[in-house]
Amino acid sequence: MAEGYVQHQKKQADKIIRITEKLYMERGMEGFTIGDIADGAEITRATVYNYFSCKEDILWAIFFEKMDGLLLRLNKKLEDTTTTFERLQAYAEANYEYFKEDASFAIFFDLFHTIFATASQKPDDFWESPYNISNWRPGKSIKMFTENFHDGSVKANLDPHETVVSYYYAFLGTMSFTFKNKDELTKFYGLDYLEVAKIQISWILQAIKAD
């Protein structure tokens, strides 16, 4: 009986998450209400509030879910790396795979960025969310890439923090922009957006790599 109830709870929460993701992608943050989520999930507003306190909490749950999918791939690829350059390359490859699998990720993160920017202001217990399976924390990825940065695989004159942050934002910006223009790339140039993004990121990586 208890197990059946837990499964029911999980299905309800997942339904709320999926409906919210759909509405968010279609309308943006201000374009829908808790009532719209309840209507889409065919439940009451009170039921939505039983699981989440507000829309932002649901969006964080979606973010954690997507980051878990990405980090699983990244951690697997990092097992085969020994240098800073290989780690940066592994980050790109993990993202390519995930963006290809979940085409909504680029748009979701582009929309979510304003909320994401408030991450450092969240209290410590916020990150104990059951949806944060990978134990993601603000700055965790940056710290991972800056540790032992100068191992001979990247240019010696590069500042670790400045380089990693720049790479991180350049990567996300490139992926987001090319995804938003994927139809035009196909229609006018006969190119796949992911291949175009890979070429652009390869230029950045070559600029970082030691001579």
Mean confidence (pLDDT) of the chain? 92
**Burial annotation 89-110 (CB, 10 A radius, 16+ → b, else e):** bbbbebbbbbbeeeeebbebbb
Residue 183, Cβ density class (10 Å: 0-12 exposed, 13-18 middle, ≥19 buried): exposed
Residue pLDDT, tens place only, 52-106: 999 999 999 999 999 999 999 999 999 999 999 999 999 999 999 998 888 788 8
- The runs of H, that is alpha helices, within the chain are 2-27, 34-41, 45-51, 55-78, 84-101, 105-116, 140-146, 160-180, 182-189, 193-208
pLDDT(154) > 70:
yes
Nearest to 134 by CA among 72, 76, 192: 72
Residue ranges, CATH 1.10.10.60, the chain: 1-52
Distance CA 55, CA 28 (A): 11
The residue type of 120 is S
pLDDT(5) > 80:
no
User: Where is pLDDT greater, at 177 or 164?
Assistant: 164
- The CATH homologous superfamily to which domain 1-52 belongs is Homeodomain-like (1.10.10.60)
CATH architecture for segment(s) 55-208: Orthogonal Bundle (1.10)
pLDDT(1) > 60:
no
What percentage of the chain has pLDDT greater than the value 90? 80
pLDDT(2) > 80:
no
